[in-house]
Amino acid sequence: MTNQDPAAQPATFFATAPVITAHEVSPAAPYDGQEVTLSVTAVSYSALSGATFYVAYDGGAFAPVTGTDAGGGVYTATLPGQSEGTVVSWYVVVTNADGIEAVYPGWGEGAPEEWTVGAVPPPSEDPDKLLLTEICTLGTDQEFVEIYNPNDHDVDMSDYYLTDAIYSPNNQFYWRIAEGNPGPNTVGGGAFGDFEARFPAGYTIAAGDTIVITMPGSQAFTASYGFLPDLELFEDDPVADNVPDMVPVWGTPTSGSIVGDGSTPGLSNAAEIVILYNWHEGDDLVTDIDVFSWKDPSSTTTSFFFDKTGVTVGGSTYGPDTPVSGQHPFAAQLSFGLSYQRTDVTEGNQAQGAGNGVDGRDETSEDFNATFTDQLAADPARPGGPAGEGADHAELVVEAKTFIPTMGETFPIRFISKPRSETRLRIFDQQGRLVVSLFDSRFNGPPSVIPGAYTAVVWDGRDDTFERVKAGMYIIHLSVVDNRTGDQETLTAPVVVATRLSN
């Protein structure tokens, strides 16, 4: 008998089902005659081979619709518009190269997803007035924008936008969104750290409530402030969390009006402007909701500010703004750890009438030196309601799959801790020896304690010395110790590291 070359041995192989990680119906609440796009995202040890959506109307038979491969494990299917009151049911089957299927929802035809087609919404109404109440602009991980709803009713944010993209030399102006060809040279965003973002469809800010949008993402924000924001511009976690993402005006969340040209969004400039505006699709003009600007006194630039007086789009013309030379940006660039905070919800001497804002306000006329202060530490509003109170037990979520670190694969791990607790997430081998520490609240900052909103980390298959571990089973160990009582909650889950021999 002769010894065989190990390189000629077949690869170690695990035949496992695909894992469906996300699904979406867009728009989220379809109405009469509106096309609907179904999408599903899946991962698999072996290559994905396709997805088939099964759709039924008003309790009829399910018919297959072949999914279109959109790349990255995403498959989509477009359904024709239906009449008001139609009940649409659907489920999806994803298959990999091994011929193994995964179904969402798990019971398939027995318990499908459903929606009822709604009525066509009434014509758009004038937008509600909202206020920018705090802006943190220095410190990559700390930056955020806070918005307050002073109305006695909830406000649907579906047609509201947030931007800092005013870069005149490249002809970027947010009010050109009505031209219908948004891009870096029309509405701006996606370059120089600027962003142009729309609020998620159906997102609502409650009467009297305050929301916070983080610029660098929820993971970075939580590490800085100890709780989750209401919204994030883009998903910065290795595994998607439950914090809603803002929507890019053009492109995708990872390459478009929010994140683009290799840069992530940021507000740290010697001069800058933040604009909250409203635009109903089909209208010629946008409506300014609120504006805030600042400029370091030593800076002579005016390219960050705007005046759209007399600009015509379609058949409509903008009213007067304050000329740039007459505007009053906050006359200071903040030190690290401080934020601009509103002190006057009446907006001081802001001009009323004939402007481009709600009820004719001229949002560029406000003297921000009189209505804001900068001598306060950043203090973003915490989420209200039970979600902000914290979980009463820890949670550990992992996928039932193996992974091969030598092929560049990583293993996602999500968890929730409890308030006022020391939290550690570690990997042990089967002999109980520590392999690697992935998270330690003493050094990484507080994790999420909000039910459904996970802190996410990934393991790359390396130990504490950055060496790849051997193939085999390892134990994920989450330890949560109450700082007051010393009570400990421990959760564990297995993870299998596979290997693939060279051909």
pLDDT for 245: 92
Q: Which of 77, 13, 73 is nearest to 44 (CA)?
A: 73
Q: Does residue 172 surpass a pLDDT of 80?
A: no
More confident residue, 301 or 199: 199
pLDDT for 501: 59
pLDDT for 9: 47
Q: Which of 235, 363, 372, 244 is nearest to 309 (CA)?
A: 363
pLDDT for 388: 39
Q: Does residue 8 surpass a pLDDT of 80?
A: no
pLDDT for 2: 47
Percent of the chain with pLDDT over 90: 49
Mean of per-residue pLDDT scores for the chain:
87
pLDDT for 378: 86
- Residue owning tokens 């990559």: 140
Cβ neighbours for 330, distance < 8 A, ≥ 6 positions apart: 292, 293, 294, 295, 340, 368, 369, 372, 374
Task: Concatenate the DSSP letters of all residues of 388-446 into one string.
Answer: GT--SS-EEEE-S-EE-GGGT--EEEEEE--TTEEEEEEEE-TTS-EEEEEEEHHHH--
Q: Using DSSP, state whether 222 is helix, strand or coil.
A: helix
Q: Does residue 502 surpass a pLDDT of 80?
A: no
- Which of these ranges, 51-65, 137-151, 282-296, has the smallest mean pLDDT? 137-151
Q: Which of 220, 270, 250 is nearest to 444 (CA)?
A: 220
Q: Which two tokens stand for residue 63?
A: 């018919």
More confident residue, 167 or 303: 303
pLDDT for 254: 75
Q: Which of 488, 458, 493, 461 is nearest to 477 (CA)?
A: 493
Question: CA 129 to CA 160: how far, in whole Å?
Answer: 11
Q: Does residue 67 surpass a pLDDT of 60?
A: yes
Query: What are the structural domains of the chain?
Result: 19-116 (2.60.40.10), 131-377 (2.60.40.1260), 389-497 (2.60.40.4070)
User: How far lies 34's CA from each of 55, 82, 83, in Å?
Assistant: 16, 7, 9
**Burial of 92 by CB count in 10 Å (0-12 exposed, 13-18 middle, 19+ buried)?**
buried
pLDDT for 275: 96
Tell me the average pLDDT across 436-458. 82
Q: Does residue 157 surpass a pLDDT of 60?
A: yes
Q: What's the pLDDT tens digit per position in 323-364?
A: 999 999 999 888 777 899 999 989 998 988 768 999 889 999
- Torsions phi, psi of 291, nearest 5? -135, 145
Q: Does residue 184 surpass a pLDDT of 90?
A: no
More confident residue, 200 or 236: 200
More confident residue, 79 or 235: 79
Band (262; pLDDT cuts 50, 70, 90): confident
Output the CA angle 337-265-136, nearest 5 degrees: 25
Question: Which residues on neighbouring strands pair with residue 134, listed in sequence order?
Answer: 146, 341
Band (383; pLDDT cuts 50, 70, 90): low
Q: What's the pLDDT tens digit per position in 96-150?
A: 999 999 999 999 999 999 999 988 766 557 899 999 999 998 777 889 999 999 9
